[in-house]
Structure 1
C-alpha cells in the first residue's frame, strides 16, 4: 500500500519528495494571489479585549469577590464575545442592601410628586356675608356666618392646600449605596451586559429587535453610554421602540435600572461609573456630605 501511494505521488507530483510541503506551498500561493487580486486588503482579526482592573488607586474591601463580564458585540445580530472586562468588587459586588434600594425608590417617586388637592377656607367659599340670626334673644347658638366650618357647605379647616410638594433629599451615601447595590443585583441576576460601544451598523429598528431577541435581553432594555450624544444609528433605531431607552452615565439612577429588565453598559460607561462611585466611596471629606441638605447648596 505504501508503495502504491508513493507511485501515485510521483505520478501527480513528479520530482517531489514531500507532499505536505507541496500542498502548503500551493495554498500559500493561492492565498497570495487572492490577496493581490483583492487589492492587498488583509482582514486581520482583532485581538480579544482583556481589560484588567487597576487596584492601585482604590483597593477593594474584599479582593476575593472580584467580578468579570464578557464584552459583547453589537455590529451583528449573532452574539460574539470580544473579550473580558474585570469589574471592581466595591461597585459591582457590593452587599445588596434591599432596604436602601427601597428608600431610593420612594425618594425618586416622591421628590417629583406635587399634590394638587385643594380645599377652600371659610374666606374663599361663596356667600355667608351677613350674620344668619341675632346674637341674642332667640336661644340659638352664636354664629357670624353660614360659611363657618360648622355648617354644611362651609369652608374646610385644616384641609389640603395645593400645590404641596413631597420633595425631600435622601442622605448622600444612601444614594451612592443605592447605585452600587442595584448594579450588583443586576450583575448577580445576569441582567447586566457590557458592549464595546453603541455603534450599530444600521438605523433600522428591526435590527435592534432581532438583536434583543437573539441575546435574550428581556422585554425592556436600558442602554448607558458615557457621553450624552449617542451615535446616529442607535438614536434612529430606538426612536419608535418604547421599551428601549438611552441614557448618559451621569443620569443613571436606581429607579430607571429597576424599571428596565436589562441594563446594557458600554465599556466607557463602566469605567466612568467605577471612577465616580469609587471616588465618592473613598473621598476624604465624606463627613461634609452627611450634613442636612439645603436648597441653595451647590
Structure 2
C-alpha cells in the first residue's frame, strides 16, 4: 500500500505542474449511437470533435478555453499520425484526489479476494468427545474434551469461515477515480490513441500473415516501457490469442500486458501498474460516453 501511495503521489505532482491552464466544464455533449464498423475513422473523429466544440459554443464558453487534444497514431509506425482528436472535457479534466484513488484501488482488491479461508471449530474436529480423565480424583483440572481450543490438535476458537469481502462503492466514485487516472496518463504523455491494435495487413500480399508475439515486445521497445495496458472496443480473438501466447515470455522477462474491452469497467489498479495506456479511437469514444453519463 505504501508503494501504491508513493506512485499516486508522483502522478499527482506531475498533474499539478501540467494542470495550470485546465478549466472545469459542465457541458455534456450529446452522443449518437456508436457504429464503429460502418463509420470511417476520419469521419468518426471529425464527428466527435464537432460535437464537443458545438456543445462548448452552445454554453457560451470563451474560445481560449479549448479542451484537450491528442494525436491518433497508427500501429505500423510511432511517428505516423492520422488525425487530432478532441477529448471530452468532462472526462479529461479532473483534479487528482488521492483519497478517491485509494478507495477505488482498495475496493477492486477487496472484490478480487477469494475469501476461501476456513478453519475447523471444536465441533468440526475429528475425534471422540469423551472426557480425557475423570472429573475428580486425579488432582488435575477438570476437562470436558480433548478437542477444546487449548488442547494440542483441538479446534479453533472463533474459527474463520469463507466469506465475501466485496462491498458496494458508488459508481460516481468509481468513474471519478478512473477518469482521474486517464487524465494523468494523457497529461504525462503515457496515453497513446491508435486507430487499431493490430497493424493493417499489406494489400500487396494476398496471404494474411499472422502477427507473432514478438509484436507486443516490439511495442515495449518502441514506447520504452515495461508494461502496456491495451483497451479496445470489442474482444478481438486474434489479439486474445496473441496475449495468451506471450504470457510465458513476459513473466520470464518481467514484463506485463493487460487487455480490456472498453464496454467493461476499467481496472484502476492496472492503470496505475502499467507504464503506458494504448487505446483505440472507438474504445475511447465508448469510454467517454459511459463515464460522462455518470458524471453529469
TM range (shorter): 0.5 to 0.7
Contact 1:146–1:154 (Cα < 8 Å) also in 2: yes
Q: Which residue of 1 aligns with 2:181?
A: 182
Q: CA deviation digits over 1:186-229, x for unaligned, max 9?
A: 11221101112234135333445434423x25222222121223
Secondary structure in 1 matching 2:90: helix
Residues 95, 60 of structure 1: alpha-carbon distance in 2 compared, 3 angstrom cutoff: farther
The 2-side partners of 1:165 and 1:187 are apart by 36
Residues 272, 198 of structure 1: alpha-carbon distance in 2 compared, 3 angstrom cutoff: same
TM-score using structure 2 length: 0.67
Superposition map of 1:13-24 within 5 A: none
In the TM superposition, what is the alpha-carbon distance from 1:131 to its structure 2 partner? 2.0
The 1-side partners of 2:241 and 2:119 are apart by 47
Secondary structure in 2 matching 1:247: strand
Residues 145, 65 of structure 1: alpha-carbon distance in 2 compared, 3 angstrom cutoff: farther
Q: Which residue of 1 aligns with 2:9?
A: none
Contact 1:191–1:217 (Cα < 8 Å) also in 2: no
Q: Which residue of 2 aligns with 1:84?
A: 84
The 1-side partners of 2:50 and 2:134 are apart by 87
TM-score using structure 1 length: 0.67
| Greater Rg by CA | 1
Unaligned runs of 5+ in 1: 1-45, 283-298
Residues 246, 190 of structure 1: alpha-carbon distance in 2 compared, 3 angstrom cutoff: same
The 2-side partners of 1:246 and 1:61 are apart by 38
Contact 2:220–2:227 (Cα < 8 Å) also in 1: no
In the TM superposition, what is the alpha-carbon distance from 1:139 to its structure 2 partner? 5.0
Q: Which residue of 2 aligns with 1:68?
A: 69
Contact 2:258–2:270 (Cα < 8 Å) also in 1: no
- Aligned pair partner of 2:291 in 263, 270, 277: 277
Contact 2:229–2:257 (Cα < 8 Å) also in 1: yes
Residues 119, 253 of structure 1: alpha-carbon distance in 2 compared, 3 angstrom cutoff: closer
The 1-side partners of 2:112 and 2:119 are apart by 22
* Count of paired positions: 231
Superposition map of 1:18-33 within 5 A: none
1:52 aligns with 2:60: no
Q: Which residue of 1 aligns with 2:100?
A: 100
Of 100-109 and 216-225, deviating more is 216-225
The 2-side partners of 1:177 and 1:60 are apart by 26
Contact 2:192–2:279 (Cα < 8 Å) also in 1: yes
1:250 aligns with 2:263: yes
Q: Which residue of 1 aligns with 2:32?
A: none
In the TM superposition, what is the alpha-carbon distance from 1:60 to its structure 2 partner? 11
Q: CA deviation digits over 1:269-293, x for unaligned, max 9?
A: 11111111111112xxxxxxxxxxx
